[in-house]
Structure formats: C-alpha cells, structure tokens
Structure 1
C-alpha cells in the first residue's frame, strides 16, 4: 500500500468536505452543520493518517521477544 494511500484517502476526504458545503441548504442553521461536518471529517482523516504513517515508518524498531523463559 504505502504512503500513496494517505494521498488518495486525502483526495476522498476533500471531496466529502466539498460535498458537505452544498449538502445542508434547507436546514435551519446550515453554517453550523457545514462547519461541524467539515471539521469532523478533517479530524478523522488527520487521526487516521497520523496513525497509519506512524505504523508505516516507526521511530523505534520493535525488538523480538524470543528470550522469554517459560516456567
């Protein structure tokens, strides 16, 4: 998969945010709904991307635990 997945999911996220700008036309307070929708999608994407990239390129390489003594 690699880092390109983060880019493509980002493109989908931008598409969802643009769609949310036009989705809430007939509601009582469309600005509030648009803002909440865009912020929610953006925060979810950022959390996913940071977690995915942290697992893709870890700062500390995990060590094997083969030296465990069974009692």
Structure 2
C-alpha cells in the first residue's frame, strides 16, 4: 500500500460524488443536499489523504533517544 491507494480512493470518492448528483433529485431542496454530500465527501477525502501521505512520507524522520548497547 503506497501512494497509489490515494489515487484509487480518490477515484472512488469521485464516483460517490457523481452518484450524489443523481441521488437527491426527489428531496425538498436537492441543491442543498447535493452540495452538502459532495462537500462532505471531498473534505473527508482530503483530510484522509493528507494524513495518510504525511505518515507515508514524513518530513522529519523520527530519531530514537534510548539507544541501548546490548552486550
């Protein structure tokens, strides 16, 4: 699992956003519901992708402080 996972999940989220365009046609205010669904999906995806990529490629490499010498 690497950076390609972010790409595939992005395609999945785009598909869900496209599905949201057709799902909320019979609601009282379809534009509001569509906007909420698409914004929620895109914001959740962006937060997940940034967190995932930050853990995958950290800017500062962690250093160990408790290096022990085993005899």
- TM-score, normalising length: structure 2: 0.91
Q: What SS does the aligned partner of 1:42 have?
A: helix
Task: Kindly state the Cα deviation for residue 66 of structure 1 after the two structures are TM-superposed.
Answer: 1.2
> How many pairs were matched up?
68
Task: Kindly state the Cα deviation for residue 62 of structure 1 after the two structures are TM-superposed.
Answer: 0.3
Structure 2: stretches of 5+ with no match in the other structure? none
Let me know the Cα RMSD of the aligned residues. Answer: 1.2
1:24-68 alpha-carbon deviations (Å, 9 max, x no partner): 01110000000000000000000000000000000000011315x
- TM-score, normalising length: structure 1: 0.91
User: Which contiguous aligned blocks of 4+ residues in structure 1 show a shift greater than 3 angstroms?
Assistant: none
